[in-house]
Amino acid sequence: MPATKKVFGIVLAGGEGKRLMPLTADRAKPAVPFAGQYRLIDFALSNLINSGLTQIVVLTQYKSHSLDRHVSQTWRLSGLLNSYVASVPAQQRLGKRWFSGSADAILQSLNLIRDEKPDIVVVVGADHVYRMDFNDMIEAHIASGKPATVAAIRQPIELSDQFGVIDVQPDDPTAIREFLEKPINATGLADAPHEVFASMGNYVFDADALIEAVTVDGESTTSNHDMGGDIVPYFVGNGQAGVYDFKRNDVPGSTNRDRAYWRDVGTIDSFFEAHQDLISTLPIFNLYNAAWPIFSQQLNSPPAKFVRDARGNLGETIDSIVSLGSLISGAHIERSVLGSWALIESGATVVDSVLFDRVTIRPDAVVQRAILDKEVVVEPGAQIGVDHDRDRARGFTVTDSGLTVVGKGVRVVP
């Protein structure tokens, strides 16, 4: 990005995440663990840091303790040259009220922008899994001359009713003509009629234009005060919004297989599917890209360990991720992701599952197509994901696709 431009980062992390319940029963959505040792917010922050942004605020609200703690423990920059990642709750600067939407969160935090006096503000969500170099988007934003730019990812036209869809000008494919919320009759792109532009929830604004837009929006009595639903249409209506095609973003170290990967993990099923994208030999999303690392808290933990059990059974672990501190003793693990300090004992089976930190699976227990939150204990011989009626009777969440979700700290008996 041009050296004359000062860029400020805002991460919107106040989401409640109702569709991820019970994983969000005790934490904000951006604080939900992912891929064994990360939190969802680590992906947004890593992208900003890797892109060279060193002044970033995280706007929090819903059940934010674990998120605030993670940010403070993990994202401590040196402080040199005024570099920081700061967690900022609702400050009630405009009255005794909380954030009423993502645009209102920025409105109530305008002092942060005014203090730093940036030229450009990058606004991103905190709950998507992806890699993105924001430098290219910022350069495209500056070159466009428009005060607002929306990042878009190409999606099949048949999925348009699941996204905010960006309709571009016929004579200028970089200019937004209309922003459509989950349309059922979307028009395909000129260069790919079977595809549409779906908003990624990432934006670049001229700072003064953003300040004006959220201020005008704050005075409206009919607005939902949402970035995608209200602020973007404000710029579109004024002919001031451009689109950035994520397809052109080239992250260092990316491969043809994982380039332009992006996942909205807003539901239990999409959260599970994103984990499945990690575990193949040639993963759809590659965690091992050293040129663009995903940063997170460095745990003071021993390596994972795989041993024979007392019966002499070695067990096996296939197509899986096993995090630090875990101990696998004569168990069968397949197509699964295990968080830190997992304990899987003799004869146990874990297949197509996601285990958070410090989950214990006792001897001969079975876990299949399940997500287990922190510190769940599955007692000897107990089964999860085998009998869905039994799972529901025990109060577990079972999705329409047959995924069983067990909340934090639950003890599962046969």
Cα–Cα distance between 245 and 149 in angstroms, integer? 10
Please report, for the domain that includes residue 335, its CATH number: 2.160.10.10
- Residue 189 CA to its chain's centroid (Å): 27
Are 208 and 336 in the same domain? no
Contact present, 407 and 384 (Cβ < 8 Å): no
Give the pLDDT score at 410: 97
End-to-end CA gap in the chain: 59
Are 75 and 179 in the same domain? yes
Give the pLDDT score at 94: 61
Buried b (16+ CB within 10 A) or exposed e, 72-87: eebbeeeeeeeeebeb
Q: Is 146 annotated as a binding residue?
A: no
The residues near 185 (Cβ < 8 Å, ≥ 6 apart) are none
Asked, for residue 299, whether it belongs to a domain, the answer is no
Give the pLDDT score at 206: 97
Are 171 and 272 in the same domain? yes
Asked, for residue 376, whether it belongs to a domain, the answer is yes
Are 322 and 254 in the same domain? no
Q: Which domain holds residue 331?
A: 305-412
Cα–Cα distance between 156 and 198 in angstroms, integer? 9
Give the pLDDT score at 2: 47
Asked, for residue 281, whether it belongs to a domain, the answer is no
Are 112 and 223 in the same domain? yes
| Start-end of H helices in 219-327 | 232-237, 268-276
Out of 258, 276, 294, a domain closes at 276
Asked, for residue 260, whether it belongs to a domain, the answer is yes
Location of structure tokens 């296939």: 318
The CA-atom distances, in angstroms, between 314 and each of 228, 362, 382 are: 52, 16, 21
Are 22 and 161 in the same domain? yes
Are 256 and 323 in the same domain? no
Read off the pLDDT of residues 202-255 as tens digits, 9 standing for 90 and up.
999 999 999 999 999 988 888 888 898 899 999 999 999 999 999 999 999 998
Q: Is 182 annotated as a binding residue?
A: yes
Are 22 and 136 in the same domain? yes
Give the pLDDT score at 404: 98
- Counting DSSP H helices and E strands in the chain, the numbers are 9, 30
Cα–Cα distance between 357 and 355 in angstroms, integer? 7
Asked, for residue 269, whether it belongs to a domain, the answer is yes
Query: Within the chain, which residues score under 50 in pLDDT?
Result: 1-2
Are 92 and 188 in the same domain? yes
Give the pLDDT score at 413: 95
Tell me the Cα Rg of the chain. 22
Q: Is 164 annotated as a binding residue?
A: yes
The structural domain count of the chain equals 2
Are 189 and 334 in the same domain? no
Q: Is 253 annotated as a binding residue?
A: no
Asked, for residue 350, whether it belongs to a domain, the answer is yes
Asked, for residue 171, whether it belongs to a domain, the answer is yes
Location of structure tokens 């300090």: 341
Give the pLDDT score at 321: 96
What is the DSSP pairing of strand 397-398 with strand 128-130?
unpaired
Asked, for residue 147, whether it belongs to a domain, the answer is yes
Name the residue among 3, 4, 16, 109 with its Cα closest to residue 63.
Answer: 16
Are 252 and 333 in the same domain? no
Contact present, 206 and 119 (Cβ < 8 Å): yes
Please report, for the domain that includes residue 265, its CATH number: 3.90.550.10
What is the DSSP pairing of strand 370-372 with strand 397-398?
unpaired
Half-sphere exposure of 271 (CA within 13 A, CB side): 31
